Amino acid sequence: MNRVIIPIALLLFAGGVVTVAFSQRPWAPRSDVEQPIPFSHRVHAGINKIPCQYCHEYARRSSMSGVPPVERCVGCHGSALLGGIQPITRPWTDHRQPPFEIRWNRVYALPDFVKFVHKPHIWAGVACQECHGPVETMDRVVPVYEINMGFCIDCHVKRGATQECFVCHH
Amino acid sequence: MAAAVETDLQPRYIDVDRQVQRAMAPGGLTYWLWVLFCAFLTALGIGFWTNQVYKGLGVTGLTEPTMWAPYITNFVFWVGIAHSGTLISAILFLFRTRWRTAIYRCAETMTVFAVATAGLFPLIHLGRLWFFYFVVPYPNERYLQPDFRSPLVWDFFAIGTYLTISTVFLFTGLIPDCANAREVATGWRKTLYSIFSFGWQGTDRQWRNFQMVYLLLAGFATPLVLSVHSVVSWDFAMTQLPGWHSTIFAPYFVAGAIFSGCALVLTLIIPIRKFWRLEDVVTIWHLDNLAKIVLFTSLIITYSYSVESFMVWYSQDPLELATFHQRYFGPQGYFFWIMVVCNCVIPLLLFSPRVRTNTVWLFIISIFVNIGMWLERFVIIAGSLATNTMPSQWRFYTPHVTEIVITAASFGWFLMNFSLFAKFMPIVSMTEMKEGISWLRQAVRTRYPYRKAA
Amino acid sequence: MSEVAVISTFGNDDDCARGILALHHARIHDFRAFFPFPSEKIIEAVNHVRGWGRSPVRYWQLFGGIIGVLSAIALTFGTSWEWNLIVGGRPIISVPPYIVIMFELMILIGGLSGLTGFFLHSRMPVFDPLPGYRSRFNEDKFGLVVECDETAASRIESVLRDAGAEEVTREALEPVRDNH
Amino acid sequence: MSEGLSRRSFIKLAATAGAAAALPGCEPAARKIIPYVVPDENVIPGVPTFYATTCNECRAGCGIVAKVREGRVIKLEGNPADPISQGSICARGQAALQGLYNPDRLATPMTRRADGSLQEISWEEAIHQFNARLQSAAQSGKNRIAFIGSSQGPALDNITRLWLQTWGSERLVFWERIGEEAARAAAQACFGRRDLPIYRFDLAEAIVSFGADFLETWGSPVEYARQYAEFRRPKLRNGTLSIGKCAYISPRLGTTGARADRWVQAYPGTEGLVAMGVLNAIVNQGWFARDTEIDLGALKEFVSGYDPHSVSEAAGIPVEVVTSLASWLGQSNSALAVAGGDDLQTYIAAYLLNAVTGNLGRTLVFLEDSPPEALTPPQDAAEVVQSIHDGQVDVAIVAGGANPAYSMPAAWNVAAALKRVPFLIWMGEVPDDSAQAAHLLIPTHHPLETWRDSHPRAGVHQVGQPVMQPVFDSRPLHDILIQSAHLAGGTAGQQIPWENSADAVNAAWQQLQSKLAPDTNPTEFWSQALRTGGAYQEAQARKVTLDQAILRRKLQFRSAAPENLMLAAFPHIFLYDGRGADKPWLQEIPEPVTQIVWDTWIEMHPETARQIGLKQNYDTRYLYAGINVVEVSTPNGSFEAAVHITPLVRPGVLAVPIGQGHSAYGRYAKDRGVNLWAFLPEASRSVPVQVRLTEKRYMLTTPLGNSDMMGRSVIEAMSLEELTAGKQPEVEREAQEEMPSGPYEMYDPIRYPGYKWGMTIDVNACTGCSACVAACYAENNLAIVGKERVQEGHIMSWLRIERFIPSPEEAHKAPNLYLAPILCQHCDHAPCEPVCPVFASVHTREGLNAQIYNRCIGTRFCENNCPYKVRRFNWFAPEWPEPMHLQLNPDVTVRGAGVMEKCTFCIQRITAAEIDARTEGRELKDGEVITACAQACPTRAITFGNLNDHNSAMVKRRVENKPRAYTMLPQLNALPQITYLRSIYHTTENL
């Protein structure tokens, strides 16, 4: 009997493992992202209680929350940090590099076919931590939740928000 | 063996075994060259398919309104082929039709491989093959399931069920025969037959349950076979495209399926009985009966064509009228007329008993019927799409090399599988032949006074 | 005390059925018949002597079919409820198209559970051949095998011979063997 | 994406093997975020910024608005504040973006080596060469430098003029082949002023166009289309419902003829003759206005030789046409005659017609303070070219897309002249035919990257600001010129006081402020101009009187039609004079009347085709079936092109579009079709030709299948009588009652309590200009597939202009051509939805038919079941050559291979507006969401809005025009959410 059942069971098990490994974590954020400078959210948002949107200032106005411009850092840390900086407003089509740029590495990224907009979420009173986890306790930001469609839908169902496919996928 | 038939008035069970086992003897050079040729076609098709998946469906000749043409034609064609197998093995079993015994295994094998071939085409025609699993209901992080209203999901369930049940039916029927083969085989073949016989020994207990499950499976397969081709026809009938949107489609498709399937059984069994010398098992009488089914279903579909056209004329729906005008007299109207000749005119030859009992004639006619039935699906699918409700979007399909190769490869794939199976598995059911052997001899003798073989 | 299997071989199903009835008359019920095709005569004889009705496999198939329909109802209704997606102006629960799914799942699950029932009731797959099995029993011969005490063997042999067995042999049984 | 086999490719490959099918097709989250150092206060990443600027694609001078996201312009829209565009934009204007992002733009300065190949050089080197050459030319004498450019607005043209002066040369040409010379010269002859008048099509009751395709390329098409829609709108005049009557005199139908009541198929070049015939009839019938102070005797004498009979004979038209046109012009309260083409006399005749019928100052208005003439008259341009031929020029500069080698008359032999010039400098964007011989090629900014201004007419001053940072390493043309002028030094150099062109424009506006609004603050004036796109004022009409001397002039018309065939070239509605050919949108959007793409074709009447021995019959159904090539011999040489047999052209005439046939000008234009300018004489667009049938076959490409509507309810029209007969618009009734009567519902209808989006399309207003199509391409990242794949049926347009030719039997009770935009109808009973196995096609709770790309597996069943055939399948992965991908709208997913797509009613705009409204805690207002097509439409034929809001303009429009309302293919009960309003035509008896 075992001559048949054991191989079948092994096959099923292996198939299950493969399915789970690949199907459940499509856009898993990466927890191994190292940033170019050892910026600590714990110090800024936790200890010093700087509100999230002080730096991520576009969150309530735009689709993206925005990464703070260097000017924002200098605002507190003083221009001594950089020895004075020049205003650079050139968008990225300019081939020349700005004199001071921080190349942050993305922690959260959504595929092109999902159109997430921060603005309505902020206005609906969703706390940043609900998706991004307790960032104020982290020195290095690591994702807490796996932001997949189920994660979004769970919250949308809970809050009675739209469950229209077309709102995010267009 | 011809002599044996003439002299041996008391047939022996072991004769059946010997005949079938001879067909299972290791294949010769011709056989393997044939298999290799089929395998080559298959490989070519896989290559072109890979290219199509990699680059996009644009490599085919599909165009804007004619979104489905050769692939779905092939799909319907192969599903249709499958149906006659189930008809012969299940429906005729329920009717206790004696003549089915010699050919039903062949027909059923054809069924399984035809469904397996057909099942590939919905995948081949997908724009994004790598997401085909969206059609499968399974718990997922999107919480999203297929839409069970879609005829394509019905297709998925129908074809899946059909493939499963017909495979089960085939292999259930194979159990006693594999046990038989197991007893004479050696080496890896013995292992193969041992596995597929599941340790069958033919005890009273086994036979008792076997009889019941076989009957029940036949009973389930009968409505299934009708449902599957109805579902396939609903892929078209459920739309509102003129030329597709018709209530006649389900019975019409089922009749067409049996028509083409029986023709393909003829196409397959005539060479097999010739090359593997199964003339005594699969007799002219069997072929005659098959030919009668072909003739009968040919008349049904002739009637269906007429009714379809009549309804269009009678309804005077301008959309339908235009589509059918194009079907008959449009730039691709010749397809329709070839189809009519192949499906409605040529099979009329089968009214003649001389034609019905002549294997060469039968073989040629069966080929024509296959061509005709392939064209029928093509005319319905590609032609109706090309002449749709929006005149400005009319555009006829012209094939590109990808579809031609993949279509050829589907025949290669089917024939390769069929040839391998027919060589390695008992292609005639020995148990059933033994069961009816005495009756069979009598029947052949009385109806076809023995003529000397050339 | 050793057990033996008495193996008789018949040339046709009539003789074999006669043998079964003969054993029945001889109050020997612990026999096993092997035959190469489903001979109605033998099956009738076996059913008669054992008092069997129709095979219980059909209940498997019946309940499998019912489960199939129920699971299809659960699947179609449940998934439609979950998202409430409007499609083509039709109601969220569109019953007619779901009937197709119910039918197909009925066939699928019914058929598969029938198959399972067949395997279980037939005690298949068999890995070790039953005692007394001869390969010809799957070709052209019919066998009746009676497992008995060595002492009773000769009486059985004679019963079988009388019933028309072509050949009757005796075979010692292994002391430890599979229940089947 | 790494080199070699990418991950997605691997998955695709693996999918066939069935191995890795469960792998998701996504990229790992590993991209960089680089924040601003100091943010731009005006820019919020993720929120578009709009900059007003001007359109430089033709001379009409529409004000436009550029939508900019994260520093790159993604869409051009009309400027609602601008009096010319009034918020609309044409297809050519939209396609300016593709000129900006054209992958074939010159990336660096280049010089030509001795062997003819090009070599990259640095900017310093290029500028040095440029100035050194100018210097040596200037040293060898006066007028040794020639500049051939295009007019770029008063401020920049002034720079060019001054710069050339500093180098001691007067050889300056601002070239336009489709110029204004005839109109100006005629105005000079008739009214003693070289001004261009403005036209008021909307005020006319009858319009007669003598070859002016005012809905296509003539003048200011956006403005005229808007006016024309108003002209054709059913109005109550004296208690009866009426629409304007329009006649179009031209050998080819065109969209202008398609929308006209009467297409008068005059022989090419006889439009002026017909005008004189009409004038004769008016004068002889006494239909002229009494108060015109025209010398009646002289007028009678003037028109004496043009009696309708001889005119109609010479022009090949029925005589009653001439007399009925005369009655239209003479007996309407207000009428308008316009002239097109390059023929001075046609313009004179048209001006006279307006003057005689008293419409001067009413529908044809000359304005005070008209802008000075910017273009160089052809004879002056010819002189400059001749001077190059004569070796009097050392350095020639071709700039600003003038492309003289392509568009100057064949007789001038410009290509040879440019080869002959010792040093040819080409400055521009995409190297064109004229750059072939250039020794130095300098990349300059696209107009959307530079400061400029524009003064298209009196009262309209526009400022063009750069809307994005330069895409390539180019420099503004006029900055180079200013620097060069400064280098020339001396007193001449002082004439240009500005540092760069931005300064120059600013300075020009300071002057303007002192003139237009002396009492405002200059800074405020300037920033106001930047916000609104310019300064707009009501222009004073100028009273002009007819110069009686004109009546003594003897006009010379071609007396009789020649025996042989005539070629009538016409500017392609999108390619115009050829400048559109490098923009793939313009190449791929089908020409509305023929529906042919990416090519030059010869339109030929079936009769003519039979005459020249073509065996192929005219069959409306299979235009694409097989095409013959003919060789056309003109006095200037011969060319070959494929024949398109169509009834929409006069027998005996070959109509051929202008615009293709570039020998360079980027990948989209190069070696495609025929350059008609090379065969046309000066100041005429028709030429007698010989035609020979060749053995060659060539497929013209069209996405269109069948030209015959087959009696189906796709595009409907009704006669004015039908509309009047008891079917007058009733405005007072309740909106509720007027909604289309109850649909057939088998189940309980689905309720859409919130918004429910719908559209009303007025077919009567649609001119087929395809601005909506271009807008859709721009807004929704539609892929361009190219000629070969359009032939395969792979065109990706979500919105198409459908055109049907009425069959001869119904021609007397049908418009000349059926034209209407067809897009996804967002049906309530959407047939596409229930057939989708994976819910990729679903309905939203706002009544939209949604297509979820990432869910789509590509069964294409939806398109099979779509009765309107508006879904498009991605047969291959779309590709945008760099930097065209910068134009992509970041709010719209770029669809991959194997995915179905279709019109979304611009869901990205709806979603954005809804989010805005929700965060502000309010409901959406009517008009707050507008789809790209509705926004672009010059005639406002498309209205978008909320069906649940009975006060929305969209619902009102369909309710108020209920007799005209219909839905496409209603028998299918798909319940489309788009209601069309029937087009109205005059029956022949009623004209």
Read off the CATH number of the domain in which D142 is found: 3.40.50.740
pLDDT at B115: 92
Q: Name chain C contacts of D975, Cβ cutoff 8 Å.
A: 89
D558-565: Cβ within 8 A, 24+ apart = D558/D269, D558/D270, D558/D273, D558/D314, D559/D314, D560/D314, D561/D267, D561/D270, D561/D314, D561/D315, D561/D316, D561/D652, D562/D688, D564/D688, D564/D689, D564/D690, D565/D608, D565/D652, D565/D653, D565/D654, D565/D688, D565/D689, D565/D690, D565/D691
For chain A, the chains sharing at least 3 beta-carbon pairs closer than 8 angstroms are B, C, D
Question: In this model, does residue D937 exceed pLDDT 90?
Answer: yes
For residues D363 and D379, membership in a common domain is answered with no
Is the residue at A23 inside a domain? Answer: no
Alpha carbon distances (Å) from B359 to B283, B286, B365: 10, 11, 10
Structural domain harbouring A157: 39-67+104-168
For residues D355 and D342, membership in a common domain is answered with yes
pLDDT at D31: 67
Q: Between B151-184 and B100-124, two packed helices, what is the crossing angle to 10 degrees?
A: 140
pLDDT at A35: 78
User: Bridge partners of C83?
Assistant: none
Alpha carbon distances (Å) from D13 to D24, D597, D873: 13, 34, 21
Nearest to D220 by CA among D191, D197, D204, D243: D197
pLDDT tens-place string over residues D424-445:
999 999 999 899 889 999 999 9
Question: In this model, does residue D1 exceed pLDDT 70?
Answer: no
Residue A25 tokens read as 């974590």
Q: Name chain A contacts of C85, Cβ cutoff 8 Å.
A: 165
Q: In what order do the strands lie in the sheet with D245-249?
A: D262-264, D245-249, D206-210, D335-339
For residues D198 and D284, membership in a common domain is answered with yes
Burial of residue D494, with CB atoms counted within 10 A of its CB: 0-12 exposed, 13-18 middle, 19 or more buried: exposed
Spell out the residues 6+ positions from residue C37 whose beta carbon is closer than 8 angstroms to its own: B13, B176, B430, B431, B432, B434, B435
Cβ contact, residue pair C85, D830, below 8 Å: no
Cβ contact, residue pair A3, C127, below 8 Å: yes
Q: What does the DSSP assignment read for D487-502? A: HH-HHHHHT---SSHH
pLDDT at C147: 82
Mark which residues 607-646 of D lie under 8 Å from B by CB: 621-622, 624-625
Considering only C141-145, D204-208, D670-674, which range has the smallest mean pLDDT? C141-145
Spell out the residues 6+ positions from residue D410 whose beta carbon is closer than 8 angstroms to its own: D636, D637, D677, D678, D679, D680, D681
Is the residue at A121 inside a domain? Answer: yes
Nearest to B143 among A23, A26, A153 (CB): A153
Is the residue at A15 inside a domain? Answer: no
| Position with higher pLDDT, A26 vs B135 | B135
pLDDT at B332: 86
pLDDT tens-place string over residues D667-683:
999 999 899 998 988 88
* Amino acid letter, residue C118: F
Q: Average pLDDT, stretch D448-456? A: 90
Q: What is the spatial distance between Cα B34 and Cα D520, in angstroms, rounded to a whole number?
A: 94
Is the residue at D80 inside a domain? Answer: yes
pTM of the predicted model, to two decimals?
0.90
Do residues B173 and B247 make contact, with C-beta atoms less than 8 angstroms apart? no
Residue of D1, D37, D108 to mutate, interface with A, max A Cβ within 10 Å: D37
Considering only A63-67, B224-228, D4-8, D922-926, which range has the smallest mean pLDDT? D4-8
Tally the C-alpha atoms within 13 A of residue D162's C-alpha that lie toward its C-beta. 26
Nearest to D857 among B62, B131, B395 (CB): B131
Residue A95 — pLDDT band, cuts 50, 70, 90? very low
Q: Residue C175 phi/psi, 5° resolution?
A: -65, -40
Q: Helices H, strands E: what count in chain D? A: 31, 41
Q: What is the spatial distance between Cα B285 and Cα B306, in angstroms, rounded to a whole number?
A: 32
Do residues C104 and C143 make contact, with C-beta atoms less than 8 angstroms apart? no
Q: Average pLDDT, stretch C65-94? A: 89
Nearest to D705 among B62, B67, B393 (CB): B393
pLDDT at D738: 42
Q: Residue C67 phi/psi, 5° resolution?
A: -60, -40
Residue C113 — pLDDT band, cuts 50, 70, 90? very high
Q: Average pLDDT, stretch D278-300? A: 83
Q: What is the spatial distance between Cα D570 and Cα D653, in angstroms, rounded to a whole number?
A: 12
Burial of residue D18, with CB atoms counted within 10 A of its CB: 0-12 exposed, 13-18 middle, 19 or more buried: exposed
Residue D989 tokens read as 């008896």
Question: In this model, does residue D774 exceed pLDDT 90?
Answer: yes
For chain C, the chains sharing at least 3 beta-carbon pairs closer than 8 angstroms are A, B, D
For residues D218 and D86, membership in a common domain is answered with no
Residue of A17, A61, A73, A89 to mutate, interface with D, max D Cβ within 10 Å: A89
Alpha carbon distances (Å) from B213 to B161, B207, C40, C42, C57: 17, 10, 16, 18, 6
Cβ contact, residue pair A163, C83, below 8 Å: yes
Domain boundary pick from D457, D486, D516 = D516
Q: Name chain B contacts of C137, Cβ cutoff 8 Å.
A: 201-202
Q: What is the complex's ipTM, to 2 decimals?
A: 0.88
* Amino acid letter, residue D909: R
Task: Per residue of chain B (454 residues), give pLDDT as tens.
Answer: 343 444 444 567 777 788 788 888 888 899 999 999 999 999 999 999 999 999 999 999 898 889 998 999 999 999 999 888 888 888 888 888 878 888 888 888 999 999 999 999 999 999 898 888 899 888 887 888 899 999 999 999 999 999 999 999 999 888 888 888 888 888 888 888 888 888 888 888 888 888 889 889 999 988 998 899 899 999 999 998 998 988 889 998 989 998 999 999 999 989 988 888 887 778 888 888 889 999 999 999 999 999 999 998 998 888 888 889 888 988 888 999 999 999 999 999 999 888 888 889 999 999 999 999 999 999 999 989 998 899 888 888 889 999 999 999 999 999 999 999 988 888 888 888 887 766 666 656 665 554 433 3
Name the class of domain B13-135+145-447: mainly alpha
> Minimal Cα–Cα distance from A98 to chain B, Å?
40
Nearest to B233 by CA among B84, B372, B80: B80
Residue B271, Cβ neighbours under 10 Å: how many? 12
Q: What is the spatial distance between Cα D289 and Cα D300, in angstroms, rounded to a whole number?
A: 14
Structural domain harbouring D151: 110-176+373-446+474-516
Cβ contact, residue pair D843, C91, below 8 Å: no
pLDDT at C175: 57
Nearest to B369 by CA among B293, B427, B304, B303: B293
Do residues D731 and D949 make contact, with C-beta atoms less than 8 angstroms apart? no
> Minimal Cα–Cα distance from B162 to chain C, Å?
8
Q: What is the mean pLDDT of chain D?
A: 86
Q: Which domains does chain C have, with CATH numbers?
A: 3-55+131-172 (3.30.70), 57-121 (no CATH)
Considering only A97-111, D267-281, D885-899, which range has the smallest mean pLDDT? A97-111
Q: What is the spatial distance between Cα A148 and Cα D63, in angstroms, rounded to a whole number?
A: 44
For residues D32 and D137, membership in a common domain is answered with no
> Minimal Cα–Cα distance from A49 to chain C, Å?
40
Domain boundary pick from D681, D697, D713 = D697
The total domain count for chain D is: 5
Q: What is the spatial distance between Cα B290 and Cα B102, in angstroms, rounded to a whole number?
A: 12
Residue A111 — pLDDT band, cuts 50, 70, 90? confident
Q: What is the spatial distance between Cα B238 and Cα B253, in angstroms, rounded to a whole number?
A: 14
Question: In this model, does residue D18 exceed pLDDT 80?
Answer: no
For residues D842 and D962, membership in a common domain is answered with yes
Is the residue at A55 inside a domain? Answer: yes
For residues D340 and D387, membership in a common domain is answered with no
Instruction: Give yes or no for A88 touching D (CB within 8 A).
Output: yes
Is the residue at D333 inside a domain? Answer: yes
Residue D205's CATH number: 3.40.228.10
pLDDT at D2: 37
Residue D56's CATH number: 2.20.25.90
Cβ contact, residue pair C83, D747, below 8 Å: no
Q: Name chain D contacts of B389, Cβ cutoff 8 Å.
A: 712, 867-869, 969, 972
Domain boundary pick from D317, D343, D367 = D367
Nearest to B54 among D12, D21, D709 (CB): D12
pLDDT at D824: 93
For residues D831 and D964, membership in a common domain is answered with yes
Q: Average pLDDT, stretch D854-862? A: 91
Spell out the residues 6+ positions from residue A109 whose beta carbon is closer than 8 angstroms to its own: A27, A29, D27, D29, D30, D31
Question: In this model, does residue D732 exceed pLDDT 60?
Answer: no
* Amino acid letter, residue B193: Y
pLDDT tens-place string over residues D834-853:
999 999 999 999 989 999 99
Alpha helices for D167-212 (secondary structure H): 181-191
Instruction: Give yes or no for C36 touching B (CB within 8 A).
Output: yes
Do residues B381 and B236 make contact, with C-beta atoms less than 8 angstroms apart? yes
Residue D493 — pLDDT band, cuts 50, 70, 90? low
Q: Name chain C contacts of A165, Cβ cutoff 8 Å.
A: 85
Nearest to A152 by CA among B143, C79, D852: B143
Alpha carbon distances (Å) from D359 to D331, D334, D337, D341, D365: 11, 6, 9, 21, 9
